[in-house]
Structure 1
Amino acid sequence: MDEEIETPMTDEMVEPSTEPKTEEKGYLARDEYTSERFKLELNNLPKYFGFGDLKKKLKLLGVNFVKIKVPKSATHAYVNFRNEEDRENGLKLLTGWTYRGNRIEVSHAKPATDIMFRAAKPKKNDNKRDQNVGNQNDSDLPDEIKIQNSATPLWNLSYEEQLTKKSTIVQEFLKGLEQKIKETSSKTVIIPFEGIKPSPVIDGYRNKCEFSCGKGNNNEDKVVGFRYGEYRYGIDRVGSPRVCKNVSDTMKLLVQHFQDHIRSRSSPWYSGETHVGCWRQLTVRTSRLNHLMIMISFCQDQLSPEEIDEEKKSLLNYFTHDAGSICKVTNIIFNVEKNKAGNELIQSEILLGESYIVEKLFDFQFHVSAKAFFQANTQGAEILYSLIKDSMKLDNETIVLDICCGTGTIGITLANNVKHVVGIEMNKDAVEDAKRNAQLNNINNIDFIAEKIENVIHKLVNKYDQQRLVAILDPPRAGVHRKVIQTLRSAENIKVLGYIACNPQLATHNLIDLNRPRSRAYQGEPFDVVTTTAVDLFPHTPHYELFILFQR
């Protein structure tokens, strides 16, 4: 069924309820326009219908709506209107309406709940979860423990215990993957696991952190740090990162001084509940070359341009000539945004330094801009990239396709060990960054293409038909679209493929599709898993990177 995804505040629809009306909260409590106030619910829709067809029929009826929302696999829909008059006219037109043989039931609908106050759906093991959260938010539990439980859930385990725990998690995932492959292909597979490689640095390893500005416990004002607790339980507090083991001392000092500065200013912190206030977020990036970038997210609220300029001047002076100069900040970027959930950028200004910092990875240097993706653990990334090079047996006769190459870190670090690298990336800005990074490191045997893989793969396969061609796929957290996997499957000249999964559970569909039997949809021989190795890039958390070597 076709559907339109509309999520002004949440993608969860609010069903009609007989409960007493409660006080409006969040975006409903603000005196601003939202079509959620003027909504109808249509029930008894046919089991199978198209979103486009429903939209067309409503227009033919003369219903003057602004949007339609159809929950997945549902026989009801929500229709939003611009005002009360349009909604009531729509109610009259739709009363008694028959659609594909079904008499449609129409009624007023409640607005969607603000995500800050959305009730949680029951989940498996919810009783246990509720118990844990209840314990976590017990008034006797120190805030330092709550913050660590939220930001670094494995903080109270020794590093050896953390690695053992993660190794068990990976092996359980691989067993589940074996079973799913068996269900798909009717063949029994055993996936080898080579263990987990530890991070070279355990504490203070993160080179990028995003800190929120908000209210602390006991209503402490203008706290800068990590949010802890969960919106679903009505908890939204910000706590200092000083106890978090994954944050460096450099960042902790910076956060403390930034907090001191904004407390000296009259502009309030930004509230995600009311969308009122100014100081919203502090993003910090560091590098091994002693670069320290801060990016401020500042909502304009009711401030004039002159008042915002004064905030910029005060911030710059504080970190260059006042108490904050001890932090040795090299780059300051000040972003002014609109006061709404989407955080629409109005203006971005560089107050100090360049728009990027320089990071060192192996013997290479990379320009890393404020919003560019770069592995959060630089030394851990070196372990991961060395694993890729060694596992794939790269040599000076190998052509590497670096798929989802981003700013080119993998391809550039491997280029001196192979004949040629071709980086493929949809994001044009990332490709431009990759080209600059290649020039910065005098890498000449690498090309970058800003295009979808399915549009260029066959041309590349034909070009390197007589070469040893291998592919490296480093996709986003949720993996890639199945069209990418289908394209790789059809490229018969690619015999070896390395897949880097930062969230293996979300990438399961890709891993299964690479291995499923040949069919009309998946042409070409399937890839078999040769080996898997985990790399711990995120000590004190449950997260890890999983490298999977495929071959056919």
Structure 2
Amino acid sequence: MTEEEVETSIADEVLESSTEPKSEEKGYLARDEYTSERFKLEINNLPKYFGFGDLKKRLKLLGVDFVKIKVPKGATHAYVNFRNEEEREKGLKLLTGWTFRGNRVEVTHAKPATDIMFRQNKSKKNDNKRDRQADNDHDPNAPDEVKIQNSATPLWNLTYEEQLAKKSTIVQEYLKGLEQKIKETNSKDITIPFEGVKPSPIVDGYRTKCEFSCGKGNNDEEKIVGFRYGEYRSGIDRVGSPSVCKNVSDEMKLVVQHFQDFIRSRSSPWYSAETHLGCWRQLTVRTSRLNYILMMISFCQGQLAADEIEGEKKELLKYFTAGSGSVCKVTNIIFNVEKNKAGNELVQSEILLGDSFIVEKLFDLQFHVSAKAFFQANTQGAEVLYSLVKDSMKLDQDTVLLDICCGTGTIGITLANNVKHVIGIEMIKDAVEDAKRNAQLNNINNIEFIADKIENVIHKLVTKYNQQRLVAILDPPRAGVHRKVIQILRSAENIKVLGYIACNPHLATHNFVDLTRPRSRAYQGEPFVAVTSTAVDLFPHTPHYELFVLFQR
């Protein structure tokens, strides 16, 4: 799969639409995951007959940095998706007035594609075709337990040794493609050494956070709490129990089972993604090594009166503190009431039990982790990853570490005792406040956090520490960072060592290429060289992994 074809959201499976969708038609945009559907252009007045490959090649030559292109069959228009708003606007500028094979194109902002579930309710005529497409990889007649595992943990039927071998092959294939892309920019053959895949210390039940949907089972059994599996792209809303999923812990499965028992005892309906009606929508569970168990309930108010919702809260709290659910030993309960069908308009958030956060132990440190905060879902695997970073970058007491995209400060805080000073940089102010609190919690005094964009502070920091060994660690969101950040890091020649953690290497490819491309007006400073790469298996039973690449110059 090429970089342009990789996409991580439901929007990959939806048809393009140039009409304005209603709010519930694009409910997937309310989710936290990355989707390029937010940043899309429509190109009109293309030639009647043109090749997809030719259009793709011409756009690249023009300098349009897109994620993917979609051309409806037989159409004279196309959709171009981008990683972020800045790249979309740059693409708009480049394409305005552009002529393709004699046709002067027209380019406009495009609307996000319609949520597959909403569209399916409007038309069922493609059901059979979509069902066949959805079942390409798995037997449609397989038992539900197998379908759930195939969806949530696709590698469940391999031994762990076989899983590691498969991931090693996946990473090596990716690196081979990356080497070719780097070669295209500097005309030199390069090899990125691969040090293999580091296994997770815990293989089963490792996830400390899971989101469970409330919905309908395969046999129309209502009020199932678990994972949607396999058929969402076909417009069929089915939920299956996580009891067979190897990556979910027994304590989390127990919470899910009791929550399911509770909502089945209530008259208020479960939420349906097909009809966008109902109340009980989602259960998020977070656990920690220190025996915290947090439940966060997403409840759509629907037609219920305020006193009815209050009644549901009281009964839920009673069930998990004094009723049958007390066996789960839940420490925190947060009840979120949402207004609209997409579930992205919060009416009320109330802490029914405990605090708004749990406490997790990472190495010998403790971290406050709020219900929605990012924290690696495999704590013991994260220790392997951060130890790899520390050892690979040869940190010492003469090192000043720049923790770029630091989030709540996890990496910088865990490495602080190994360096002279840490500067965490993060543009989300709430995350920076969490980072400061976590540093204070662990009495870490050689660390500071800056709530700002990297381009606003990097030059000042490089100048301030120009006599120090300055290294950078970059752990960005799924889609990587904007090229402007890479350009600034390239121009900061005092940074000789840079470590990059990629949770989705395909989406980070543009960053890797820009770090290594030859010096130019846009990319000043000597290029970095990828000197080693190592994968860490934070997600057993799935194809996912974290890739750490060490760059030097």
- Aligned pair in 2 of structure 1 residues 190, 114: CA closer, same or farther (>3 Å)? closer
Tell me, what secondary structure is at the counterpart of 2:219? helix
**1:187 match:** 188
Q: CA deviation at 1:338?
A: 1.3
| Cα 1:266/1:9, change in 2 over 3 Å | farther
Aligned mates of 1:135, 1:482 — CA distance in 2: 36
Give the CA deviation at 1:9: 13
Residue aligned with 1:217, SS: coil
Residues 308-364 of structure 1, C-alpha deviation per residue, up to 9 Å, x if partnerless? 000000000000000000000000000000132252111100000000000000000
Q: Which residue of 1 aligns with 2:281?
A: 280
Matches within 5 A, 1:38-437: 114-116=115-117, 130=132, 133=135, 136=138, 138-139=140-141, 141-437=142-438
Question: How far has the Cα of 1:26 moved from its partner?
Answer: 11
SS at match of 1:182: helix
Q: Secondary structure at the match of 1:298?
A: strand
Q: SS of 1:371's equivalent?
A: coil
SS at 2:505 equivalent: coil
2:507 is paired with a residue whose SS is coil
1:29-63 Cα shifts (integer Å, max 9, x gaps): xxxxxxxxxxxxx997589xxxxxxxxxxxxxxxx
Contact 1:403–1:474 (CA under 8 A) maintained in structure 2:
yes
Letter in 2 for 1:231: Y
Say whether residues 1:479 and 2:480 are aligned partners. Answer: yes
The verdict on how the C-alpha distance between 1:308 and 1:519 changes in structure 2, with shifts beyond 3 A counting, is same
Q: 1:45·1:76 contact (CA, 8 Å) conserved in 2?
A: yes
Equivalent residue for 1:13, pick from 1, 13, 16:
16
Cα distance in 2 for residues equivalent to 1:538 and 1:187: 35
Who is 1:36 aligned against? none
Distance 1:463 1:302 in 2: 59
Partner of 1:540: 541
Letter in 2 for 1:193: F
| CA pair 104-389 structure 1, distance change in 2 beyond 3 A | closer
Whether 1:454 and 2:455 are equivalent positions in the alignment is yes
Letter in 1 for 2:517: R
1:233: Cα distance to partner? 2.1
- One-letter amino acid of the structure 1 residue matched with residue 444 of structure 2: I
- C-alpha RMSD of matched pairs (Å): 3.1
Paired residue type of 1:217: N
Q: Is the CA contact 1:117–1:231 (under 8 Å) kept in the aligned structure 2?
A: no
The 1:297/1:434 distance shift into structure 2, 3 A limit, reads same
Aligned to 2:524: 523
- How far residue 273 of structure 1 moved from its aligned partner, in angstroms, is 1.8
1:438 positional shift: 0.1
1:251 Cα deviation after fit = 0.3
Alpha-carbon separation, structure 2, partners of 1:186 and 1:138 = 47
Q: Distance in 2 between matches of 1:508 and 1:485?
A: 12
Q: Residue deviations 1:395-442, cap 9 Å, x none?
A: 000000000001001000100110000000011000000000000000
Q: Deviations over 1:87-108 (max 9, x none)?
A: xxxxxxxxxxxxx9x9999xxx
Find the residue that maps to 1:400 and give its secondary structure.
Answer: strand
How many residues are matched? Answer: 469
Verify the 8 A CA contact 2:205 2:248 in the aligned structure 1: yes
State the AA in 2 paired with 1:234: G
Cα distance per residue 1:73-130 (max 9 Å; x no partner): 997699xxxxxxxxxxxxxxxxxxxxx9x9999xxxxx975521658xxxxxxx9995
Q: Report SS of the residue matched to 1:332.
A: strand
| Residue 397 to residue 159, structure 1, CA distance change in 2 (3 Å) | same
Give the structure-2-normalised TM-score.
0.80
Partner amino acid, structure 1, of 2:212: F
SS in 2 for 1:190: coil
The residue aligned with 2:93 is none
Aligned mates of 1:517, 1:153 — CA distance in 2? 40
Report if aligned partners of 1:337, 1:345 keep a CA contact under 8 Å in 2: yes
- Secondary structure of the structure 1 residue equivalent to 2:506: coil
C-alpha distance in structure 2 between counterparts of 1:265 and 1:447, whole Å: 49
> How far 1:132 moved relative to its partner?
7.3
Aligned residue for 1:505, secondary structure, equals helix
Distance 2:247 2:491 in 1: 42
Matches of 1:26 and 1:264, distance apart in 2:
31
Of 197-206 and 339-348, the range deviating more from structure 2: 339-348
> Which residue is 1:513 aligned to?
514
- Whether the 8 Å CA contact 2:409–2:435 is kept in 1: the answer is yes
User: 1:187 offset after TM fit, Å?
Assistant: 1.0
Please report how far the alpha carbon of residue 235 of structure 1 lies from its aligned counterpart in structure 2 after TM superposition: 2.8
* In 1, Cα distance between equivalents of 2:131 and 2:341: 32
* Partner of residue 124, structure 2: none
CA distance in 1, matches of 2:119, 2:460: 49
Which AA in structure 2 matches 1:13? E
Cα separation, 2, equivalents of 1:76 and 1:493:
47
Q: Distance in 2 between matches of 1:481 and 1:355?
A: 32
**Separation of aligned partners in 1, 2:131 and 2:552:** 41
Q: 1:72 to 1:454 in 2, by over 3 A?
A: farther
Aligned mates of 1:200, 1:483 — CA distance in 2: 37
What SS does structure 1 have at the residue aligned with 2:182?
helix
Between structure 1 and structure 2, the one with the greater Rg is 1
| Aligned mates of 1:490, 1:254 — CA distance in 2 | 51
Name the CA distance, whole Å, in 2 between partners of 1:289 and 1:43: 54
Contact 1:154 1:540 in 2 (8 A): yes
Give me the whole-angstrom Cα distance separating, in 2, the residues matched to 1:433 and 1:154.
35
How far apart are 1:15 and its partner, in Å?
7.5
Residue in 2 that maps onto 1:492:
493
Counterparts in 2 of 1:113 and 1:178: CA distance versus 1, 3 Å: closer
Give, in angstroms, the shift of residue 232 of structure 1: 2.8
1:375-405 alpha-carbon deviations (Å, 9 max, x no partner): 0000000000000000000000000000000
Judging changes above 3 Å, is the alpha-carbon distance between structure 1 residues 27 and 505 closer, same or farther for their aligned structure 2 residues? closer
Find the counterpart in structure 1 of residue 66 from structure 2.
none
Q: Is the CA contact 1:229–1:236 (under 8 Å) kept in the aligned structure 2?
A: no
Does the C-alpha gap of structure 1 residues 235 and 229 become closer, same or farther in structure 2, counting only changes over 3 Å?
farther
What SS class does the counterpart of residue 136 from structure 1 fall into? Answer: coil
5+ residue gaps, structure 1, are 1-6, 17-24, 29-41, 48-69, 79-99, 106-110, 120-126
TM-score (norm 1): 0.80
Local SS of the residue matching 2:477: coil
2:44–2:78 CA contact under 8 A, matched in 1: no
**DSSP-derived class of the 1:175 partner:** helix
In structure 2, distance between residues paired with 1:227 and 1:425: 33
Identity of aligned residues (%): 78
Q: Is the 8 A contact 2:237 2:273 kept in 1?
A: no
Distance 1:384 1:156 in 2: 25
- Quote the Cα distance in structure 1 between the aligned partners of 2:455 and 2:44: 41
What secondary structure sits across from 2:485 in the alignment? helix
User: How far apart, CA to CA, are the structure 2 residues paired with 1:450 and 1:155?
Assistant: 41
Aligned-residue offset at 1:236: 2.1
Separation of aligned partners in 2, 1:26 and 1:346: 17
